[in-house]
Structure 1
């Protein structure tokens, strides 16, 4: 029995080592996950893949991969169902699996830490662990090459360390365990014992001694080699111990808000004109509501001893960035699960729990309304920005969407406001920044209010009181909060529409005057709701907030009280004759001036336009290669089908738009994405420069070099298009006269003109124009692709990016 147990142990050492090595990758990755579900699922995948290979050792090698893939599919589906149940996600198994397959890697790399184990965040680790275990077991057990069989597990472990990056403590213990398990597997003797009558069993003692000596010599040489490598590479590795690991999230673009949501402040005026529009239905509960004798739990803090109203403020967006023209959200949203990361409340504030059940009616965009600060969300997949405590739904809001939010609303101690200070320094520089171009009367008004009130809260109260006493609310006031708009709101003639506005102007003016007075301010857009029932467009408004030490962000309300007649501004502030008040209302703000530039990580390449959607394939040996080949062919066919669909539509206008989409997709594939805020002619200019730079780079020049641009590139471009100074048509034969700095890409300007015709003169496009647009787009795409390196040309046709973008 003892001999049998020893033999079984010898046979099981390598499979157990493979299971342990693969499972350790899940343990390492699980450090950035909430709970231990991910680690157990990866351990199960590691054990299942290796045990299937052990059980199928007598089967032909070509049959093992399909059997293992079938088992992997079962384990993966069970894992997804378990994760969906734990996360309380709606939808059937097929819907959940399809969504996880489409968005697995992007959501994994943009999820908030700790990552909640949901189907889209566990799919990739589980499948990768199964494939690593399958490949390692087949190599180590079927061919006997144990060290080579460790490579898949080692690669998976390295990938897990890279994915964790600096978001967890160094995995010293797990790494030592990995090395120890690998050493045990390598040191294990072969499980095969010589059979009776085997010539090896009849070896003479001298022969066996020679074999032992040879093995000992080889082992000594191996140890010496390892020691030498350690001595050589040890100092290099030691220098990196204190280095901060690279975070792969820096290369992935997190979920973004739409242009409509980047500055929701401009929507206040539109909502004010249609106050009966039903945006939401809200039902709130306060599990820890105060006793009847205490202050009403649904009230907002009063900053001047005024009676608070029995209402609930529902936040839509927090705007912290102002460039003198528009206020912007400027938040960084990360995919999150049900449980959102908790932040420590302000030192001198109390926390009240508020539960909200929300049903979306006619509210559009991606911003998800919730009472500050959300701690748990169910019923909708969300992305969260901890800095502002706001939510978005990356897929966008849809009528009938229902979700529930549990928020921890902070209520500062109003008795401490009078003596509270405000923070300063780099940490709050963002909410203290004042853009250039402030009108002089606005600066003098802020200086006057600050001079008369020294303490921060006194300054904030003075600004609040000045706005509430001298201005009135007008629902039909035009939208706008740029410096000229605020100047007209503050100092324009009352008879000409000045000194009146919506909450947009009141909140924006307070925030700017506060920053000019040294107060860290921001603007919040949301709704004032009763807590039960519908939320209408007339309930939307904006309010300012000021940051105080120990108290956090405190809300102020500069709107005038109902039925209060405003006093003339000239009674308390009069512009100088050298700077008379504006007499005409400036143009309203209709949309953000430009999309904010993403902050690039230091010493790293720029963030890519997006992450290609992973289509996970499985299999081992030859089966895996066949599946990869099938995937590439499928992507190629889908890309060509997309192009044919765009350029082969019946409607000429749609074909022109499809041709334009082909050009913009080509620019994205070339690493030159175009912004949504650019006009068609500006995109044509960018397309011209992109092709010029690509051709200069291909000829060995440097993009932007005037000499290189002047010399041009006289090589032929596929399709007969060349860079021709001022040209607008094709050059026969494809040989151009050269491209100067002012040369144009033939046809792209014509395509931009056709696109403008489609936009501004619907129904006027002809079939001939659509054919010309398709020819121009095809020729330009081929020319831009031809200027890329050979390996980028190969990836061009199978890149899934155009399939993801709408």
Structure 2
């Protein structure tokens, strides 16, 4: 520009005047639409995370009763994601404490709601602590459908909240949406695994999960000024490079997805018809105690203390019978069932049930086709009944006031925590009553489903088998056979309260065929029910034994009301109870009137496993006086020579028995591994009890035998035959309990016994045997070491 050139102001150059001529965006135009789109895109990912997390609750809720669990999981998904969205502008380290506080509030509210729905007793603190301790095992052992109780909803609710929190933080703070899907995907897979084969395949929910995840991936979290284009606002060259990079990444992602589908598609398709694994098979369900595994042996103990109060019963909505009855077919409220025993091994009847944690509502099975159902509601208060078995009328359908585990096969309940005095609960039961008019023509089922209740263990005594055959031949129809067994037992045997416990084959044989003047042909309901069940199975009838109580429907239930009864399974009628107990006013007829064993196999004449006390040898009978035979030896010489030979033979026999007994004791206490030596020490104690006239049956638990061992020693001392107690004798009583504990350890955990424990078991056994032997009279102490009974029993056990 020259010096004389005039300066013209207010006129812009052409480049500067061109820009203002562009049309400005109108109000509500593209920029407003871009803001709306950006806002919608910003909400897509949180909504996607909420739906993906909630779908896990939908899948898991298929095995729950009602929709409470699904609603609680959906609430956890919404709450966790919204807390993260609201705290997005807070420092990352502060989000977790805020979310945990919200999680605590939601969890406590969920547990309170579940406890109220399940009508569980206890404060919120007690319920929450119990759920925290037992949530996972109870969830995996709960019965299907699962009742939404605090312990079965705690884990899903907390897991859903944590999955939503982790996914939201990863997807929203870092922008890595696919990585943020991993917690929700893991929760969904865990829900499918927990459900396992207990529900139909979740095809619809899985398709929805994939579709929602795709929508979230299609909506980027970042927003540009141009309405969401990540390359907007950049220089033309840079914008082209970014777009090319995004296109290549998308193409590689699509190729990867197609490759994975091609690779995994056939494998996944091949598993469509496969049965999922049930995780419940890896978790041990609640178990009964040893005391409850065979409650049949408790009947004789209860019979000795008939006034002991066990329960208080109040039957609601049903008129109770006029009085208590022993008839298993009595009116509703007259019979309370404690346990059902279906397994018999020739020694003992066992419960053999599989209990699953259950809620208030129990799964209902279809009633028998030709039976009617009566509803019985009872309120029961526990007094002095112990164990875990929970009494209830058959068959329970709803329980409130106590946490229970349930076995659908037998319809029995347990309380895993055990019974406590004052425990009060209410039970609503559906009691089936068969049509008596159809019993005479009813058949019994056959096949794999009833093998368990038809199984007869080896070792049946021949007289029992012949008696069952005789009763079956005389009565062809199944009900006629069962009625014949019921009538035979009711007419020929007597109920006594002081009969010893025992229902192994030898005990039943003695009960059926033993002499009356020797204690046979009498027993408690234990022997009557067990004998009926075994004879029924030998006759082709599916049978089981039930232990329970007779009740008038109102008032206390005492130990004298406990009894056992047998049941037979009929087609279309279900399990039908029988009553083999005799009427109190009837005098039993001799068994020989209707059954006589063959001469070559006489019936037992002694109590099973008796202690055979040695008797003095009979004195030789003197020969009549008279002249001796010509040329023979005189009578004095014969007597002297014969007596000397007899003494030599007897002496040799006694020395041989003494040596064999010592070898047997040494083999038991010294040889073998520690477990075998502990078992050998226990056999020494049981042999000593038999030699002392206190035999113990094989059906008794080790702790019960230890109690009898202490009592035997106390009784011997009370007779004053043992003299002052020494330090060793005083320590013998509790040591027997220690030996019983070691035996249980060897039985339930083989291979865990140590050398020290084996040596301690041998010391305890030797001390107890010595103490008990010292309490016997002198002549019995002399015969103790040569008694052949332990040798015979050892030979039988080896066989």
Q: TM-score range by the shorter chain?
A: 0.7 to 0.9
TM-score (norm 1): 0.73
- 1:201-240, Cα deviation, whole Å (9 max, x unpaired): 4434565344334323322222122112211211111111
> Which residue pairs with 1:140 in the alignment?
171
Cα deviation, residue 483, structure 1? 0.1
- 1:262-294, Cα deviation, whole Å (9 max, x unpaired): 00000110111111111101011235x79xxxx
Larger relative contact order (Cα-Cα within 8 Å, sequence gap ≥ 6)? 1
Q: Distance in 1 between matches of 2:72 and 2:770?
A: 58
**Aligned ranges 1:421-460 → 2 under 5 Å:** 421-460=443-482
Contact kept? 1:684, 1:749, Cα under 8 Å: no
Say what the alpha-carbon RMSD is for the aligned residues.
Answer: 3.0
- 1:242-273, Cα deviation, whole Å (9 max, x unpaired): 11100000000000000110000001101111
> Which residue pairs with 2:599 in the alignment?
577
- 1:621-677, Cα deviation, whole Å (9 max, x unpaired): xxxxxxxxxxxxxxxxxxxxxxxxxxxxxxxx9xx99xx99xxxxxxxxxxxxx978
Q: 1:490 to 1:751 in 2, by over 3 A?
A: closer
- 1:725-765, Cα deviation, whole Å (9 max, x unpaired): xxxxxxxxxxxxxxxxxxxx564545666898999999xxx
Q: Distance in 1 between matches of 2:431 and 2:402?
A: 21
**Aligned ranges 1:727-746 → 2 under 5 Å:** none
Are 1:501 and 2:514 counterparts?
no
Are 1:549 and 2:549 counterparts?
no
Q: Distance in 2 between matches of 1:512 and 1:505?
A: 10
Contact kept? 2:224, 2:230, Cα under 8 Å: no
| Unmatched tracts of structure 1, length 5 or more | 596-652, 662-674, 689-744, 763-806
> Which residue pairs with 1:121 in the alignment?
152
> Which residue pairs with 1:238 in the alignment?
269
Q: 1:487 to 1:553 in 2, by over 3 A?
A: same
Aligned to 1:687, what secondary structure does the other structure show?
Answer: coil
> Which residue pairs with 2:500 in the alignment?
478
> Which residue pairs with 1:354 in the alignment?
376
Cα deviation, residue 143, structure 1? 1.1
Cα deviation, residue 432, structure 1? 0.1
**Aligned ranges 1:250-329 → 2 under 5 Å:** 250-286=281-317, 312-329=334-351
Q: 1:451 to 1:676 in 2, by over 3 A?
A: farther
Cα deviation, residue 584, structure 1? 1.1
> Which residue pairs with 2:257 in the alignment?
226
Q: 1:759 to 1:2 in 2, by over 3 A?
A: farther
> Which residue pairs with 2:782 in the alignment?
none
Q: 1:271 to 1:296 in 2, by over 3 A?
A: closer
Contact kept? 1:443, 1:516, Cα under 8 Å: yes
**Aligned ranges 1:395-414 → 2 under 5 Å:** 395-414=417-436
Q: 1:392 to 1:679 in 2, by over 3 A?
A: closer
Aligned to 2:579, what secondary structure does the other structure show?
Answer: coil
Are 1:26 and 2:57 counterparts?
yes
Q: 1:136 to 1:199 in 2, by over 3 A?
A: closer
Contact kept? 1:118, 1:337, Cα under 8 Å: yes
Aligned to 2:426, what secondary structure does the other structure show?
Answer: strand
Q: Distance in 1 between matches of 2:597 and 2:519?
A: 18
Are 1:386 and 2:408 counterparts?
yes
Q: Distance in 2 between matches of 1:537 and 1:545?
A: 22
Aligned to 2:152, what secondary structure does the other structure show?
Answer: helix
Match of 2:194 among 154, 163, 169: 163
> Which residue pairs with 2:751 in the alignment?
686
Contact kept? 2:376, 2:428, Cα under 8 Å: yes
Match of 1:81 among 101, 108, 112: 112
| Unmatched tracts of structure 2, length 5 or more | 1-31, 610-695, 704-730, 772-799
Match of 1:67 among 90, 95, 98: 98
Q: Distance in 1 between matches of 2:244 and 2:152?
A: 52
Contact kept? 2:379, 2:424, Cα under 8 Å: yes
Q: Distance in 2 between matches of 1:388 and 1:429?
A: 15
Contact kept? 1:279, 1:362, Cα under 8 Å: yes
Tell me how many residue pairs correspond in the alignment: 622
- 1:661-719, Cα deviation, whole Å (9 max, x unpaired): 9xxxxxxxxxxxxx97835677897226xxxxxxxxxxxxxxxxxxxxxxxxxxxxxxx
Are 1:190 and 2:212 counterparts?
no
Q: 1:310 to 1:44 in 2, by over 3 A?
A: closer
Aligned to 2:335, what secondary structure does the other structure show?
Answer: strand
> Which residue pairs with 2:589 in the alignment?
567
Q: 1:101 to 1:681 in 2, by over 3 A?
A: closer
Runs (4 or more) in structure 1 with deviation over 2 Å come to 1-7, 189-196, 198-218, 295-303, 308-311, 587-595, 675-685, 745-762
Q: Distance in 2 between matches of 1:106 and 1:543?
A: 35
Contact kept? 1:681, 1:752, Cα under 8 Å: no
- 1:132-157, Cα deviation, whole Å (9 max, x unpaired): 11111111111111111111111111
Which region of structure 1 is more displaced relative to structure 2, 59-68 or 252-261? 59-68
Aligned to 1:678, what secondary structure does the other structure show?
Answer: helix
Q: Distance in 2 between matches of 1:238 and 1:493?
A: 72
- 1:530-580, Cα deviation, whole Å (9 max, x unpaired): 111110111100000000000000000000012100100000001111111
> Which residue pairs with 2:360 in the alignment?
338
Cα deviation, residue 113, structure 1? 0.6
TM-score (norm 2): 0.74
Q: 1:309 to 1:4 in 2, by over 3 A?
A: closer
Aligned to 1:315, what secondary structure does the other structure show?
Answer: strand
Aligned to 1:358, what secondary structure does the other structure show?
Answer: strand
Bigger radius of gyration among the two: 2
Contact kept? 1:310, 1:530, Cα under 8 Å: no
Aligned to 2:446, what secondary structure does the other structure show?
Answer: coil
Q: 1:527 to 1:368 in 2, by over 3 A?
A: same
Q: Distance in 2 between matches of 1:452 and 1:682?
A: 45
- 1:337-359, Cα deviation, whole Å (9 max, x unpaired): 00000000000000000000101
Cα deviation, residue 92, structure 1? 0.8
Are 1:91 and 2:156 counterparts?
no
Are 1:173 and 2:204 counterparts?
yes
Which region of structure 1 is more displaced relative to structure 2, 235-244 or 455-464? 235-244
Match of 1:110 among 133, 141, 160: 141
> Which residue pairs with 1:737 in the alignment?
none
> Which residue pairs with 2:546 in the alignment?
524
Aligned to 2:743, what secondary structure does the other structure show?
Answer: coil
- 1:766-794, Cα deviation, whole Å (9 max, x unpaired): xxxxxxxxxxxxxxxxxxxxxxxxxxxxx
Aligned to 1:430, what secondary structure does the other structure show?
Answer: coil
Q: Distance in 2 between matches of 1:162 and 1:760?
A: 57
Q: 1:275 to 1:222 in 2, by over 3 A?
A: same
Q: 1:759 to 1:54 in 2, by over 3 A?
A: farther
Are 1:514 and 2:536 counterparts?
yes
**Aligned ranges 1:556-705 → 2 under 5 Å:** 556-587=578-609, 589=697, 591=699, 678-679=743-744, 686-687=751-752
Aligned to 2:547, what secondary structure does the other structure show?
Answer: strand
Aligned to 2:600, what secondary structure does the other structure show?
Answer: coil
Q: 1:106 to 1:73 in 2, by over 3 A?
A: same
- 1:411-463, Cα deviation, whole Å (9 max, x unpaired): 00000000000001111000000000000000000000000000000000000
Q: 1:680 to 1:152 in 2, by over 3 A?
A: closer
- 1:182-209, Cα deviation, whole Å (9 max, x unpaired): 111111023422389x996443456534
Aligned to 2:451, what secondary structure does the other structure show?
Answer: helix
